[in-house]
Amino acid sequence: RRLHIELDNGPEINSSRTQFMKRLTELADRHRLVIELAYLPPYHSKYNPIERCWGILEQHWNGALLRSVALVLLWAATMTWRKIHPLVRETTKPYQRGVRLTREEFAPVARRLLRSATLPKWSLIIQPVCR
């Protein structure tokens, strides 16, 4: 099983972000997935499929006044893309910011990041460790 993720190379999801990479390796292990990360170069977000989804959502809202979280969730749930409705839910758990791994803590994770020989900054693979 393989999961291919295209990313925009923003600072929050950069492959040098220790906590992000640690969580992805845990996901790979938990679900026995090979995870391939493909980072898009700067100013190439038009090639990222999620950007098309945001554009469709923006057209669907069409200037509606979104006064509450409940209204945003309702509007988001009623949009369709290729005749498919999205799964919409509110995340209420706070996201911890500023959590970092030390160099020593990150070393085992870093060893699992198989970077492309030709595009090491833009493409990497995480193999699951089956226990």
Of 83 and 3, more confident: 3
36-49 tens-digit pLDDT: 998 887 777 677 67
Tokens of 45: 């977000």
**pLDDT number for residue 12:** 61
Of 124, 106, 107, nearest in space to 115 by CA: 124
Per-residue confidence at 59, pLDDT binned at 50, 70, 90? confident
> Where exactly are the structural domains of the chain?
2-126
Q: Does the structure show a pLDDT above 90 at 95?
A: no
**pLDDT number for residue 31:** 95
Of 9, 6, 86, nearest in space to 49 by CA: 6
Q: Does the structure show a pLDDT above 90 at 127?
A: yes
7-19 tens-digit pLDDT: 876 666 666 678 8
* Sheet architecture: strand order including 2-7: 2-7, 34-39, 123-126, 113-115
Q: Which residue has the tokens 């391939």?
A: 36
Burial 4-22 (b: 16+ CB within 10 A, else e): eebbbbeeeeebebbeebb
